[in-house]
Structures are given as structure tokens and as C-alpha cells.
Amino acid sequence: MARIKLQDVHKHYGRGAAAFHALRGVSLEMYSGEFVALLGPSGSGKTSLLRAVAGLETIDSGSIELADDVVAAPGRHVLPERRNVGVVFQGHALWPHMTVFENVLFPLRESGLNEAQARPRVMEALAQVELQALAGRTPGELSGGQKQRVALARAMVANPRVILFDEPLASLDVELRRDMMRHIDQLRRPDSSMIYITHNQEEALALADRVAVLFDGCIAQIDTPVRLCREPQTERVARFVGAGNLLPARRAGTAHNGCSQVALGQYHFSARDTSTGVSETLQLCLGPTAFALVGPDAPGLTVRVEHVFFQGSSYAVDAVLQGALAVSLSLVLPFETQPRRGDLLRLQVRDAWVMPGPPGSA
């Protein structure tokens, strides 16, 4: 049974010719226990969608259902406090004059429980984020990561049917961000769905069961993280997620068992292909790790290294394909290759995806 259902949701800000169409017919179904990340650039509609689900924004048309309750539709807007939704904000939104315990207690007190009744649940929530020893402190005595864990405990304590995350890790450094990702992952429950908005691909791909990519108020693709990276449905998704390289190629054989023989110049190889088209020209998507370094005389592609960025255990490389098709490529090469600027490298393709639709389609 769907826990969250959005049907053709539209949202405008402003009126008349100057109105901004933030959500353009968004439809989405989520199931109990599912974790969906909303990924997109600034202005894509992520925050508007989250605020609409939370009840912090009214919608212009369409409908939103939470556990089969219609909470938003034309002429109907259920207030945020009546939706049983928990929200974790980027800026923590903790009350500075309250202790950690009192901040986490607040939603339970609002639901009618007194402190004696609520104390076990508050302490359990704090234990889940490893902060029970700091229950008596105020937010001003906590680090940024500790504040965000308090916000997480507060969002979870009332057992909400939906938990919404509004870029919760954006202000944290790399080490704290990874630690918070572990806490969020550990707190997943089969009876509570999660919507997580972010512009950080690492967070979205690591945490979510499915990722919805938004552009201009529309969902361009929603899929599992693996399929989103390996099988993007449009060029815009391919370029945005996983730094996919797009190359024009030609078909060198008919599709068989989900693969086709394709050619880049004189180099022939196999590519995953679920398209139904028979056009000789096609567009390939190749991820940064889709290449293997081979000897100079082996069949393959020759690239010139333009920039090298050491990543600790690998190298991120900007390169240009040599020959008639001078296309820029983003590569990730193993540590032992130790590429240098100006090097000519010979590469073979070990994984490629034939983009659906004609080359140049959005």
C-alpha cells in the first residue's frame, strides 16, 4: 500500500505573467518503509515539493495523500501539525532556550503527553542517535553534528508516518556528513517512509532506495541509484548524475540479448541496449569508471590527459578524445596508473549504455 502519493501536483509563486511555476504536474508514489531522495540543481523544485508534503505550502492543483488520507487538494489543506510528519531542516531549527531533552520532548508534549509519560520515548530517541548523555545541555553547547542528531531524534520521537529531510547535511564537513549518513540509515523503519532532498549526489545515491531527479519542477527520471547511473533515460539526467560521458556512435550490429555492437571510429565493442530503434546513429553514455587502460597497440580509443586530480585511492582525469571526434571525457583511473597531464592513453570501453531516443534528445 502506498504511504505517500502525489498526483499531478502544481505550485506557483506569484501571480500573472511574473508567476514562477515551481512544480509542474509532479506525480510520485512511495511505499511504507521506502526512502526516496529528491536530487536536482537549485531551483528544480525539491524544496517546494518537500514543503508541500509537510503542509508548509499549499498546492494550486493536484493532490497529496499520506497513508490514504488526502492532506492536500483544491479546497483542502490539512495543517502541518495534523499530518504526523517529521521534518529535519538544514539549520537544525532547535529552540536555543530549551535543553536537548526538552527539544526532543516538544512534539510529544504537543500531542498531549506529559513529561513523565514521554520521558522513556525521549531517552530512547536520544539513545538511537547516541546523545542520551547530553540530554541536559542546550543547543549552544553542542557541535554542528550533535545539533543535527538532536533534530533527527526530535523528528523520529513521535513515530511519524513520513520523515522529511531538507538538505540536513549541507552545513557539515565531510567526516560529520558521513557519520550522519550512518545515523540516518540506521534509523530507517518499515512503518515510516522518508523523503530526502539534496543536491549532493553521494548522499542521494548512498542512502535512497530510489532517486527522483528534478529539473524545472518536473521529475525527469525516478529509479534505483544503480539504474539511474547505468541507464539514464535522457541526456540531461546522464550529464547530471554520475558525470556520464555522452558520445555519438554508430550501430555495428542488431541488438541481441539486451546488447548491440557499436563503433566509435574503427573501435568496435558491445553496449547495453534496450532501445527499439534501428537508426545507424546513436548516443552512448559511458560512466567515468567505464574505461580500462590498455597497451598502445591494443584496439581502443586514444585520449590526451588535460587535467589530473588525485582522489586518495584513484585519479579523476579530464581528457580529450583524439581523432576526428575531439570530445571531452571525465575518467576515474586506478591509483597505479598515475596519469600525468599531456599523457596519451589507450582505453578500452568495458561498459556502455545506448541512450533511449534519437541523439540529441533531452
The CATH number of the domain where 191 resides is what? Answer: 3.40.50.300
Same domain for 266 and 204:
no
**What is the grid cell recorded at 16?**
500573472
Same domain for 248 and 223:
no
How confident is the model at residue 263, as a pLDDT?
A: 93
Same domain for 210 and 88:
yes
How confident is the model at residue 278, as a pLDDT?
A: 67
How confident is the model at residue 11, as a pLDDT?
A: 96
Same domain for 265 and 213:
no
Domain boundary among 222, 238, 254: 238
Domain boundary among 238, 267, 285: 238
Domain boundary among 238, 269, 284: 238
Which residues does the chain have with pLDDT short of 50? none
Q: What is the pTM of this model?
A: 0.88
Residue 36: half-sphere exposure toward Cβ, Cα within 13 Å: 25
Whether residue 362 lies inside any domain: the answer is no
pLDDT per position as a tens digit, 246-256 = 999 998 877 77
pLDDT per position as a tens digit, 232-272 = 999 999 999 977 899 999 988 777 788 999 999 899 999 99
Same domain for 189 and 315:
no
Which range of residues forms the domain containing residue 331? 244-354
Same domain for 277 and 192:
no
Report the number of distinct structural domains present in the chain. Answer: 2
pLDDT per position as a tens digit, 47-86 = 999 999 999 999 999 999 998 899 999 999 999 989 989 8
DSSP string, 241-303: STT-EEEEEEE-S--BTTEEEEEETTEEEEEE-------SEEEEEE-TT-EEEE-TTSSSEEE
Ramachandran assignment for 258, one of left (phi > 0), alpha (psi -120 to 50 degrees), beta (any other): left
Same domain for 307 and 174:
no
Same domain for 166 and 129:
yes
Name the β-bridge partners of 250: 263, 281
Sheet holding 210-215, edge to edge: 85-89, 162-166, 193-198, 35-39, 210-215, 218-223
